Amino acid sequence: FEFSDSDNRYQINPNPNPDQRQFRQALFGEDMHSGFKFIGRVLGKALRDSQLIRAHFTLPFYKLLLNCPFVFDDLQETDPEYYASLKYIREHPAEELRELEIIDYFTTDGPGGEEVELKKGGKDVLVTDENKDEYVELKANYVMHGRMAKERQALLNAFNEVVDLRDLAAVDPQELELMFSGTPIISLDDWEANTDYDQYEPSDKVIRWFWEIVKSWDHDKQATLLQFVTGSSQLPAGGFKCLMGASQGNGPPIIRRFRIRKLPGHELPRAHTCFNVLDLPPYKKRSQVSRAMDIAVEMGSLGSVSYTHLRAHETPEHLVCRLLLEKKKKKKIK
C-alpha cells in the first residue's frame, strides 16, 4: 500500500519499487498475490468482529470492497496528477492533442511498459472528438482498477471469504469507512450517558470531578484518554453505546459500555482495555483527580504501559518522563 497524493489515505501501490517487492516476497513468498489475500481476510475479520482499524483508505478502495462501479472523478483522489491530465484531454480538441502527441489510439502503457488495449481492438481505434470521453473513462478505469486487476481481485475474493457481499448490499462507501475505522468525533454527552458505574454513583463527587475535568480538555486529550481505557482513540459508527470488548469465553467481541469502577487503596487510575473499564480511586480532592487523569493520559499516549513499569522509589510522573525519553532515543536510533 501507499499514501494517496490527495489526502494521505491508503491505496494499493501499483508500482512497488524493487525493495518493496523484495520485502513483500520475504513476507509472503513467491506468490505475489498472497499478501493481498492476507489483507483481504484481515479486513474481512475486522469488519465481521466489529474491530476498528487505525487506517483510512481512499474512496475507490471502499468501492472495490463493495463491488461498486468507478467513475472518472474517483481518479482525483487516487492520482490527482493523472486526473488533471485526463481532464485536460476532455477539454481540448482531439486534433490539437494529437499534434502534441498526448493522444493517439485506445491504448496505454502497462506496468512493465508493454502496450495495453483499453478495449478490444483498441490499437486500431483512433481517438477522436466523438469517442474522446469514452477514451478518458477507459483510461481512468485502467489506472484505478485494470493495472492491478489480479491483485485487487485476490484481495476482494479473500475479503468475500469472510464477509458475504450480500450483507453489505445497503452500505455505501462512506458508511463502510465508518464501519472499518469508526469516527474521530467524541461527544461528551454521549460518553457520559453511556457510562456504567461500579461502586460509584453518577452523583458522587469523584465522578462529577472526573467529567468536569474531561470536558475541559481538548479533543486530542480526550481521544488519548479513550485510547488509555479502550485501546482505541476511535469510536464505532454508533458511538459509545456500541463500544466493543472481549467476550467471557472464546467467542467474538461483544458490546461493553464504558465503565468506571472504584479502586480503593491505590494512588492512580488503571485501565482494562479488553473490557473498557477505568479503575478510579476515591480521591478526596478535585486536584488529585486532575493530576491522576493527566498521568493516565500521558501513559495512554505511550501505548502499552502499566504501573508495573515503576522502578523502586520512582513516582508515576518520573515513569512517564523516563518512558518518553526512551521513546525519543529509540526514534533517533531508527
- What integer pLDDT is reported at residue 296 of this predicted model? 77
> Which pLDDT does position 328 carry in this prediction?
58
pLDDT band per the 50, 70, 90 thresholds, residue 264: confident
Q: Cell digits for 282? A: 476515591
pLDDT digits (tens, 9 = 90+) for 76-106: 888 888 899 999 999 999 999 988 888 889 9
Phi, psi of 122 (to 5 degrees): -60, -25
CA dist., res. 327 & res. 333, Å (int):
10
pTM over 0.75: no
Strand partners, 109: 115
What one-character-per-residue DSSP string does 72-92 give? GGGHHHH-HHHHHHHHHHHHS
CA–CA separation, 160 and 37 (whole Å): 10
pLDDT given at position 142: 87
- Rounded to an integer, what distance in angstroms lies between the CA atom of residue 300 and that of residue 306? 9
* DSSP H or E segment with residue 108: strand 107-109
Average pLDDT of the segment spanning 144-166:
88
Enzyme catalytic residues: 274
Q: Which helix (H) or strand (E) holds 272?
A: strand 270-272
Identify the helix (H) or strand (E) that includes residue 3: strand 2-3
Which spans in the chain are helix H? 18-28, 34-48, 59-66, 75-78, 80-91, 94-99, 132-144, 149-162, 173-181, 188-193, 205-216, 219-230, 286-301, 316-333
Contact 176, 62 (CB under 8 A): yes
- Hey, is 115 helix, strand or coil? strand
